[in-house]
Amino acid sequence: MLSIQDISFNYENQTLFENANLELGPGEFAFLIGKSGSGKTSLLQMIYMNLLPQSGTVTVGNFNSKIIKKSELPLLRRKIGIVFQDFKLLTDRNVFENLSFVLEVIATPKKEIKKKVNAVLNEVGLSHKRLNNPENLSGGEKQRVAIARAILNDPLIILADEPTGNLDPETSGEILDLLQKINKRGTAVLFATHNYDMVRKGNTRIFKIEDKKILKGFLKQKDQG
């Protein structure tokens, strides 16, 4: 489902990756860890092809970084849900409007928009906040809205870029639980974090960026941070 093969990437005179590899199967949950500046966010950007490797290949489903056309990028990104640390919600729209906007831009019928938005709000436990503006939500609630937005189009994979970085430990645990719940229904999740305590609780596979490589197959009980 996701295949990164022998990628190399240089950014601002810094080499982040040299012949790095990663494979993630359909419906798999994995953590992506590494020191600050190691390239976690850049790797996620290469997966949704906002960045392209200087060499090597990124493949997501049927999309290949070597041959993808600019016109195909929106189609790729509908297959990927992205959750950011800073939420990236529209402050001039309420929760329902933040979500419906995602579907409006791809010309989804109004009846289907209402059905889909209500369904994802119910899934993340925020149906009662549908008319609230983001400024009236807690940090955890904002992140739940961001996760709801990420799953609107039934993506193949969710890329979570430090989604708990601004949250307290209890709320962080709730966000992890929610993403694992979504994963169990068949959506793959790649969860980038520097929170090693959370990783150890996750009981799942780990990819670690180190020395310009991606070390694969770490089990949480073997990883000491």
Per residue, the 3-state secondary structure of 142-166, as one string, reads HHHHHHHHHHCCCCCEEEEECCCCC
The full 3-state SS of 100-125, as one line of letters, equals HHHHHCCCCCHHHHHHHHHHHHHHCC
Kindly state the average pLDDT of the residues 155-184. Answer: 94
Residue numbers of the domain that contains 132: 90-153
pLDDT in tens, 20-71: 999 999 999 999 999 988 999 999 999 999 999 999 999 999 999 999 999 9
Per the CB < 8 A criterion, the answer to whether 24 and 186 are in contact is no
Distance CA 200, CA 221 (A): 7
Last residue of a domain, one of 134, 153, 172: 153
pLDDT of 221 reads 46
**Beta strands at 205-210 and 213-219: parallel, antiparallel or unpaired:** antiparallel
Distance CA 58, CA 149 (A): 24
In a domain, 85, yes or no: no
CATH assignment at residue 23: 3.40.50.300
Kindly state the average pLDDT of the residues 180-193. Answer: 95
pLDDT of 114 reads 97
Residue 198's H or E segment, with its range, is: helix 196-202
Query: Per residue in 147-184, is it b (16+ CB within 10 Å) or e — as a string?
Result: bbbbbbbebbbbbbbbbbeebeeebbebbbebbeebbe
Instruction: Say if residue 116 is in the same domain as residue 47.
Output: no
In a domain, 197, yes or no: yes
Last residue of a domain, one of 153, 170, 193: 153
Instruction: Say if residue 125 is in the same domain as residue 209.
Output: no
Mean of the per-residue pLDDT values of the chain: 92
With a pLDDT cut of 90, the percent of the chain lying above it is 85
pLDDT of 224 reads 41
Residue 220 predicted with pLDDT over 70: no
Kindly state the average pLDDT of the residues 3-23. Answer: 94
Instruction: Say if residue 38 is in the same domain as residue 147.
Output: no
Angle between helices 110-123 and 139-151 (to 10 degrees): 130
CB neighbours of 69 closer than 8 A, spacing ≥ 6? none
Q: Which residue has the higher pLDDT, 134 or 219?
A: 134
Angle between helices 95-104 and 110-123 (to 10 degrees): 130
Instruction: Say if residue 107 is in the same domain as residue 6.
Output: no
Instruction: Say if residue 7 is in the same domain as residue 69.
Output: yes
Q: Indicate the range of 49-58, 199-208, 212-221 predicted with least confidence.
A: 212-221
Count how many domains the chain has: 2
Residue 195 predicted with pLDDT over 90: no
**Beta strands at 2-11 and 14-24: parallel, antiparallel or unpaired:** antiparallel
Q: What is the pTM of this model?
A: 0.92
Kindly state the average pLDDT of the residues 140-163. Answer: 96
Highest mean pLDDT among 135-144, 191-200, 209-218: 135-144
In a domain, 84, yes or no: no
Instruction: Say if residue 204 is in the same domain as residue 225.
Output: yes
pLDDT interval class at 217 (50, 70, 90) = low
Residue 219 predicted with pLDDT over 70: no
Considering only CA atoms, which of 123, 222, 69 is closest in space to residue 115?
A: 123
Kindly state the average pLDDT of the residues 207-216. Answer: 94
pLDDT in tens, 83-102: 998 899 999 999 999 999 99
